[in-house]
Amino acid sequence: MRFERVAALVFVAATVAAAQTGAPWSYEGKTGPVNWGKLDPAYKTCSQGHEQSPIDIRGAHLNKALKPVEFHYLAGPVTLENTGNTIIVHVAPGSYIVADGVRYELQQFHFHHPSEEAVKGKLTDMVVHMVNKSADGKIAVVAVRLAMDRGAPNAILAALWPHLPQTVGATAKVDEYVNPEGFLPADRGYWTYIGSLTAPPCTEGVRWFVYEEPVTLSLEQLRAFTALIRMNSRPLQEAHGRRIEANE
């Protein structure tokens, strides 16, 4: 147990350090998305790339050969961080997915309001992005949209939100065991395409898995997030002819 706790702390520290590199950026004003590519040479892909995310998902091609993503996420304590741009949930090592035979280790998950992904032009109230990385450095992001259509509280948010760090740079540990797999909808149908990270440095070559069915959150849960992060959604990017596939 001592080794696991030390490993988790090292992982969190490394992730926080990585998030603090590069020029400051935000979602509005002079450091907003329109100017990301000008803020730092490392961010040039944000303005020059042709596989940027998010995109409007429409015209997907059915590919019956696509298999369901295998989830092997573990329940455990997590650490929340308020970066000023989002709430990141840092996880201990050990959780992973398998997609097309490739294993990707879960790095962290975080939230955007409103959803960054649109479906036929429509956004939902929030989205959770679960960021996974393979041994050779490839990134796969699982996106699950959250909507208030039925107003039911989200069970995972119910465990996390009482611990939301209230100030930028603050962190909070959640001792209650949390399994991000609980965000997944009952229907595991997804859309997939090649895109990018949706924040600087906007790295391309990212495999996206956007689940078709949204899950619910309550108005109170949405308000708790927006009280800290008013808006943190990158505008939709040009698809540039990219192929979007559906697994069912």
For the chain, domain boundaries: 2-246
pLDDT, average across residues 212-223: 97
In this prediction, residue 16 carries a pLDDT of: 37
Q: Peptide bond preceding 200: is omega within 30 degrees of 0, i.e. cis?
A: no
* Single pTM value for the model: 0.91
Q: Are 67 and 100 in contact (CB under 8 A)?
A: yes
Q: Which secondary structure element, helix H or strand E, spans residue 5, and what is its range?
A: helix 2-19
- The band of 128, judged by pLDDT with boundaries at 50, 70 and 90, is very high
Lowest mean pLDDT among 75-79, 124-128, 151-155, 186-190: 151-155
Please enumerate in sequence order all residues whose Cβ is within 8 A of that of 230, keeping only pairs 6 or more positions apart, or say none.
none
Distance CA 57, CA 40 (A): 29
235 by Cβ neighbours in 10 Å (0-12 / 13-18 / 19+) ranks as: exposed
Query: Is the pLDDT assigned to residue 97 strictly greater than 50?
Result: yes
Lowest mean pLDDT among 8-22, 32-46, 118-132, 165-179: 8-22
Query: Is the pLDDT assigned to residue 13 strictly greater than 50?
Result: no
Query: Is the pLDDT assigned to residue 246 strictly greater than 60?
Result: yes
Query: Is the pLDDT assigned to residue 6 strictly greater than 60?
Result: no
For CA atoms 31, 37, 41, 42, give the dihedral sign. Answer: positive
Lowest mean pLDDT among 1-5, 144-148, 155-159, 232-236: 1-5
| CATH 3.10.200.10 at 2-246, yes or no | yes
In this prediction, residue 248 carries a pLDDT of: 76
The b/e string for 137-162 (b: 16+ C-beta within 10 A; e otherwise) is eebbbbbbbbbbeeeeebebbebbbe
In this prediction, residue 8 carries a pLDDT of: 39
- The band of 180, judged by pLDDT with boundaries at 50, 70 and 90, is very high
pLDDT, average across residues 112-128: 98
Q: Are 151 and 218 in contact (CB under 8 A)?
A: yes
